[in-house]
A and B are shown apart, each in its own frame.
Chain A
Amino acid sequence: MINTLVSLLGISAHDPAFWMPLVFFALLYTLLLACIVLDGFDIGVGCLALFASTPYRNRMLSLLAPWRDANGYWLLLCLVVFLAAFPLAWRSVLGQLYAPLCLLGAGIALRMAAFELRLRAPLSEQPFWARLFGLGSCMAALAYGWLLAYSVLPTHSGGGFAIFVVFVTFCGFASFCLLGACWLVMRQPGRLRVSAALWGRLAVRWAAAGAVAVSAALALGNPGVLLKWGGDVPWPMVLGLWGLLLLCFITLELTLRRLSYRRTAPAWLPFTLVLAVCLAVLGGIGYSFFPYLVLDDLTLWDASPMPDVAPFMLSALIVASPVIIVFNLWVYWRMFGESRPPEPPPFKSVR
């Protein structure tokens, strides 16, 4: 593929004008994955907290506390890297998405601030802030679904498209709920696990329907994508990928069903399966889009003017990367497995 791109663009593969957009794209894609998965379970738990009873809601929010501040950075990082590396795509991508971006911005601001205000608020006001956190999470989840619908069919309009947007928006919301529910199943034993498994079962079929709808729309609505999957990728591989997705969804449904009936099942399995599904779907979307940022309209190289400052920007990111990686490893290394209570503070003995 690289050779084809090099010959199409007419530049050397060693030319920074060729490889630098690729590096930025890889970075952006990694950040987007982190944003969907790491901020995603947070958004999912926030959405579910809106429907949970008060004791469950408090526990769910306290489970999020160790990661909440770090989760807030992913979207910001994504936006700024996108803006800096692909400024010429800014108009095509963000200019057309006013309404979902409004919803996303308002939702993110609301959930980020409401969570911290709840921690510091008097007891009587905490339920209010918890509900606002849930509301902000729902707004963010719906906005992500809406953005996805617009991204896969960027040039479409009309009644059918509106129905598709509504459907994918709702399915996107269900996917975040599924991610959050599976994370809760893994983290918290007891009755909350059973409730989370029930929530997960409600969401899993909608999430699967959303994945199918997005994939079908992407292939059928964009001939280039259909050709790519039909010609470049061997059909056993395509079938294998779909089979794997189907298997993941069925196993997920069955595991959640067992857990909701309090039968023995590995609690880590649902979250692992949802992660696999997320990676497969996002990987598929990424492959379908590559090398375009806006399908059939704007490639990475069109969107990245590569001015003299690009090496400087890359250097800044390289300098920042170790700090960001170490910080995130430190923050996220205990996000898997069952929750453990905090250690008591080290009191000094008084003699």
Chain B
Amino acid sequence: MTNLPTWLAQLQFFTGLGFLLVFLLIELALAWVLFAFKLASHFGGRPEWVAAYRFWVRVFALSSVLVLAGIVPVILQFGSQWPGLMDKADVVVGPLLLLMMVIGVIFRSCFLGAMLFGQNKLSPWVHTCMVLMTALGITVTAWLGCVLLGWFLHPVGGEWVNGRYLVQSWPTLLRNTQAAWLFGLLLAMAALTAGGLMLGVVARQSLRHPVQIGELTGLRTGLVLGTAGWLLAVGLLAGYAMASASQLPARAAAIMGYWKNNTPAEWVVFAWPDANTQDNHAAWRVKGGEDWLARDEKGVLVGLERHSGMAPPVALVFWSARLTLLIVLVMGALISLAWWQLYKRKADLQAVPVRWRRTWAYAAYLGGTAALTGLACLLAGQMPYAVQGKVTLTEVAVPHSLFEVGFGLLLYCLVYGVLAAGFVRLLRHIAFYGVVPVTRHRGRA
């Protein structure tokens, strides 16, 4: 894993997957939020739910488009960078991707279109059902994605025969503990990302004009969602790190900065891990953390020296894990502050000091950033393997020249950068000036 093209290829794959993940998180959470708005408008009958739905459905539609735009490059990158993987894992990857695509296309073609463009043509309850089906479709697709990713991290449900994986039990593969943890984390991060986004957008609206009742509904929902997501994320991050230590011992040791076997375990809060000296420079340590490390069959704590030559990039894993945790903690602080300020000022957002509202507005994308650093930790922690412990990335990669990979990376970074900037700019625009209705007339233009 030391050659530059392989690193750049991995970085390119991370860029594509990261772009997809951020907008998938927003799409997933907003789908359920919109369903909640629809239900509330039926049962509550108050107009603010309808107003909140009308605003946030535009953001949902936009993230939905960006998800669709992000899928094709990821599949192409998967094919052009790690083509050998299909020779070994075709039995798992093929059916899962096909199922994701079939469900995705059916739900998008049938229900998403009706949800976005059929509101005036359907009865309110039927339209609510369309919203529910869309949310279910996105959730099932996301779960299948987690099953696939979980299998790469912890291949279960079959065995390797002549270098090729053969599935013996699909239920075991689908009930993979890694997949369950990843799906839980995905839901938590989706709630946190969307909650932070809703808080940020409404805070920005309040800087521009007095917030209206629908916007306040968005704020309250965002706060509830963000709080739930934060609580879930903190619990699941800790639980996942402990539960997956035995399955991914090298990653666990890299996260903890734990080099030598069977030395006393410590929380390394801050350090610069050095793979050459196998030590942490300028470390700030606290005792504890044994549960976060793997033990071998003799009960000895497994350090990075056990994975000599096959260890992940320690500094990258170490820092991406801490950065994720730091951002999640900052988000927790901002959400708590929002609760406190709104409680103190009797839910009057305009009365909250401008500096806080501005902070929330700038922090709108922190959830997405946390998801990106979390993904970096996940992908880097898996290196140098493509399938944990069995297939390495170099085995399945096709060597490309540095120029080719560099050019591809630059091209993708430019495209994703422009699209992400467009999303942010458009969100600011609709926060200030309101949404632009977009209609589709089948066959007519």
Contact = CB atoms under 8 A, between A and B. Distances in A.
Interface stretch (A8-16, A82-90, A259-267, A284-292): A82-90
Contacts of A105: 16, 72-73, 76-77, 412
Contact of A95 (B83, B167, B419, B443): B83
Interface of B is mostly: helix
Contact of B442 (A90, A121, A330): A330
A1 interface: no
B108 to A, nearest CB: 8
Interface string B396-407: 001010001101
Contacts of B110: 323, 327
A192 to B, nearest CB: 12
Interface in A268-316: 305, 307-309, 312-313, 316
B68 interface: yes
Given A112-B68, A113-B65, A117-B422, A88 B76 contact: no
Contact of B400 (A65, A98, A333): A98
B73 A76 contact: no
* Residue in B62, B412, B444, B445 with the greatest tally of chain A CB atoms within 10 Å: B445
Contacts of A54: none
Interface string A133-177: 000000000000000000000000000000000000000000000
A172 B99 CA distance: 33
A109 B75 contact: no
A135 to B, nearest CB: 10
B75 A132 contact: no
Q: Pick the most buried of A85, A96, A99, A106: most chain B CB atoms within 10 A of its CB.
A: A106
B288 interface: no
A319 interface: yes
Interface in A38-97: 62-66, 69-70, 72-73, 75-77, 79-81, 83-85, 87-88, 90-97
Nearest to B58: A120
Interface string B61-89: 11001101111110111011101101100
A319 B404 CA distance: 41
The range of chain B's interface size is 35 or more
Interface residues of A, number: 75
B351 interface: no
A73 B105 contact: yes
Interface in B252-281: none
A295 B16 CA distance: 31
Contacts of B106: 320, 323-324
Contacts of A110: 69, 415, 418-419
Interface string B7-30: 000000000100000000000000
B76 A116 contact: no
B93 A87 contact: yes
A79 B94 contact: no
B83 A324 contact: no
B290 interface: no
B66 A113 contact: yes
Contacts of B79: 79, 83, 90, 93-95, 101
Interface stretch (A194-202, A216-224, A335-343): A335-343
Contacts of B123: none
B411 interface: yes
Nearest to B397: A95
A83 B72 contact: no
A106 B412 contact: yes
A334 interface: yes
B406 to A, nearest CB: 11
Interface string B83-111: 11011001101110111111001101110
Contact of B408 (A102, A129, A342): A102
Contacts of A320: 102, 105-106
Interface string B426-441: 1001100100101111
Contacts of B86: 83, 87-88, 90-91
Nearest to A96: B398
29 contacts: A75-B72, A80-B100, A84-B97, A91-B84, A94-B83, A95-B84, A95-B398, A98-B81, A98-B398, A98-B400, A98-B408, A99-B407, A101-B76, A102-B407, A106-B414, A106-B415, A108-B69, A108-B73, A113-B69, A117-B422, A119-B438, A121-B429, A309-B95, A317-B98, A320-B102, A324-B106, A333-B443, A341-B445, A343-B444
Given A84-B94, A106-B411, A119-B438, 16 more contacts: A66-B441, A69-B113, A80-B100, A83-B97, A87-B86, A102-B80, A117-B422, A120-B62, A309-B94, A309-B167, A313-B98, A316-B95, A316-B98, A323-B110, A331-B442, A340-B444
Interface of A: 62-66, 69-70, 72-73, 75-77, 79-81, 83-85, 87-88, 90-99, 101-106, 108-110, 112-114, 116-117, 119-122, 125, 129, 132, 305, 307-309, 312-313, 316-317, 319-320, 323-324, 327, 330-331, 333-335, 339-343, 345
